[in-house]
Amino acid sequence: MGRNLALTLALTSLCIGLVAADWNILKQKRKHYGLKSSLKNYCESWRINVELNNIREFEVVPQECVAYIKHYMTSSQYEADSERAIEEVRLYLSSCCTLEGDGKDAWIFDVDDTLLSTIPFYKKHNFGGEKLNTTLLEEWMKESKAPALDHTFNLFHEIKNKGVKIFLISSRSETLRSATVDNLINVGYHGWSSLILRGLEDELTRVQEYKASARKRLMDEGYRIWGIIGDQWSSFAGLPTTKRTFKLPNSMYYLS
């Protein structure tokens, strides 16, 4: 009887030991890391599909991905991705274009998150995790404190110095003209040919239709538009098209 009890106790201790050995902090960390890794993969997939224009017209960034989007938009990877796009513009310009020198060679830049960064605003508004309050955004724009984006600042001046006319087509309201001009000049942009903003007649027009209409007017005036650079697909959509388009990364919001 005593021997049987001792044997039972020994086996019980062994089983408890095995269970304890199976649960250890390293394995729990691996399991936890696996969950994090899956969420990271999901959020990266979501971001890439925004950039590919597969995911459209979203009003907010998925809540589970807000921290990831924040990390990306303030990271060296965002800078590297943007710089890579700029390098492709330079490669294109090095071989694409025989400039006529007649004042009709042109390039189009978007403004927000192309020349000027709205990241300081979105830092205060959950990096796209909140539904956009247009009134608050325009109040922020009126302060004329948006910083220049380094990766396009130099490109802007390089293109201008080639003798190419630069047109800025923004989805900003005409009421923001003075603040926008002040902001651009304050951070070092100058020498653009025209800043095109949305007037009252454009308020009910989708961004892509408004921008396509602005391109058509320029082409009707005889301008050869060698390319467009912007952070939204609506900057490129619709007819007429240009010879090339270059998309900068931005997964905080979507303008259609």
15 is a domain residue: no
Question: CB neighbours (10 Å) of residue 95?
Answer: 6
Above 80 in pLDDT, residue 31? no
- Please report whether residue 197 resides in a domain: yes
Res 36: pLDDT: 55
Any residues with CB less than 8 A from the CB of 250 and at least 6 apart, and which?
73, 113, 231, 232
Query: Is residue 96 included in any domain, yes or no?
Result: yes
In a domain, 50, yes or no: no
- Domain count for the chain, please give it: 1
pLDDT at 10: 44
**β-pair partners for 247:** 230
For 27, residues 6+ apart whose C-beta sits below 8 A from its C-beta are: none
Query: Which structure tokens are listed for 140?
Result: 């922020």
Spatial distance between the Cα atoms of 11 and 233, rounded to a whole number of angstroms: 67
Instruction: Tell which wins on pLDDT, 6 or 91.
Output: 91
With beta carbons less than 8 A apart as the criterion, state whether 113 and 149 touch: yes
- CA 163 vs CA 95, 115, 160, 190, 246: distances in Å: 16, 19, 6, 14, 20
Alpha-carbon distance values, 188 to 14, 90, 193, 196, 239 (Å): 74, 20, 15, 19, 32
Decide if pLDDT at 217 tops 80: yes
pLDDT value at position 101? 82
Domain annotation covers residue 23: no
Does 211 map to a domain?
yes
pLDDT surpasses 90 at 197: yes
Note the pLDDT tens digit of each residue in 73-91: 999 999 999 999 999 999 9
With respect to residue 91, please indicate whether it lies within any of the assigned structural domains. Answer: yes
Residue 164: CATH number of its domain: 3.40.50.1000
Q: Is the dihedral of CA 77, 82, 85, 90 positive or negative?
A: negative
Q: What is the pLDDT of residues 231-248, one digit of tens each?
A: 999 999 999 999 899 999
Domain of residue 136 covers: 37-45+61-247
Measured distance CA(60)–CA(130) in Å, rounded: 6
Average pLDDT over residues 27-48: 69
Buried b (16+ CB within 10 A) or exposed e, 103-137: eebbbbbbbbbbbbbbbebbeebbbbbeebeeeeb
Q: Considering the entire predicted model, what is its pTM?
A: 0.83
> Are the CB atoms for 147 and 112 separated by under 8 Å?
no
Q: Is residue 9 part of a domain?
A: no
